[in-house]
Amino acid sequence: MGSPFIAEVLDSAGRQLFRAPATAARIRDWQGDQTAAALALRLNGALHALARAGRSQSLASLYRREHQDFDGAVAEAFAQNDRYIADWMLQPPQTNEVARAAALMAALMAAPLEHAMPFELLELGSSCGLNLNLDRYSYSLGPVRAGDAFSEVKIEPLWRGASPARNPISIVAARGVDLHPLHAGNPIHRERLLAFAWADQPARGQRLEHALRIAAAHPPRIDQGHATTWLADRLAEPQAEGRCRVVMHTMVLQYLSDDDRHEISSLLSAAGGRADAAHPLLWISFEWTPDRRQVELRLTVWPTGETRVLAHCHPYGDWLEWLPSPAAALAA
């Protein structure tokens, strides 16, 4: 994924893990799919957090590129901070990668609504809620410009394939849920997010810091709760006429159980059955395919119930391959 430094860190971690028995036991005894749980990302986040905080001097020096003794630095960090790392790994990664907002914005612009109308956003797994502020960012989506042209958050993924729609976007409400919400005004929470930004990709870290400043000035509304019960409550609330309700999530489903994923699908299908042209419902999903071979941006629209794969994407939004619509493919 374009991060050779992190690859070296994780290679060293594999060799030095015996120095951290609590962390090794956490990994060895993990219940469930270790890949889906992103254990490597959790471990990397813990090490980056230690380096940023200066809790391991050799590791901090390594991250500053002052030496290249990966094994020595990781060994010291493991020996000195085993319990810290093991505890850190209990919480899922909260990358809250704002580059993924480009996919969400493109999906909103592509929504085949009968009439132009504003959107109300409901996000599952919001973390710090940075993507709830998606209309406050500037986008270059291939030849299409969108969002706030004056925003300090510039999102310009490598764009492949067809051009997205150019429909204007208006967000009138945005609300999210997370089991453990983070808040941009909390320095501990900010550090947790920054620890998950890969150290050899400074542009990602800088973009994240800009997004955190925007979120501190415009705090997203995030509830603490479970995705399924929260979604059931939100979908049961009356939807104003002339508003399009949107349920969206990015890289969340892998952390949910099969029952939870089924429940979310059932809730949306039931709500979609109540939708009409004046009260449409969208489901935007930015997730791995079941075989984890690629990330798909999927859009389901009610009242029709039509589902379309809009794009194939880099997991962190670095590039998008926009797919032609079925009508365009037939015309070609």
Residue 321: how many CA atoms within 13 Å on its side-chain side? Answer: 7
The CATH 3.40.50 domain(s) of the chain lie at 98-331
Q: What is the pTM of this model?
A: 0.87
In tens digits, the chain (332 residues) has pLDDT values of 778 999 999 999 999 999 999 999 999 999 988 888 889 999 999 999 999 999 999 999 999 999 999 999 999 999 999 999 999 999 888 778 999 999 999 999 999 998 899 999 999 999 999 999 999 999 999 999 999 999 999 999 999 999 998 888 999 999 999 999 999 999 999 999 999 988 888 888 899 999 999 999 999 999 999 999 999 999 999 999 999 999 999 999 988 999 999 999 999 999 999 999 999 999 999 999 998 899 999 999 999 999 999 999 999 999 999 999 765 443 44
Bridge partners (DSSP) of residue 177 are 124, 223
The token pair at 161 is: 């394939």
Angle at CA 136, nearest 5°, toward 228 and 141?
Answer: 90
- Map tokens 């391991």 to a residue: 56
The token pair at 266 is: 């059932």
Per-residue model confidence (pLDDT) at position 92: 81
Per-residue model confidence (pLDDT) at position 327: 56
Bridge partners (DSSP) of residue 297 are 286, 311
Instruction: For residue 323, give every residue at least 6 positions away whose Cβ sits within 8 Å of its Cβ, in sequence order, or none.
Output: 161, 162, 309, 310, 311, 312
Q: Which fold has domain 98-331?
A: Rossmann fold (3.40.50)
Per-residue model confidence (pLDDT) at position 330: 35
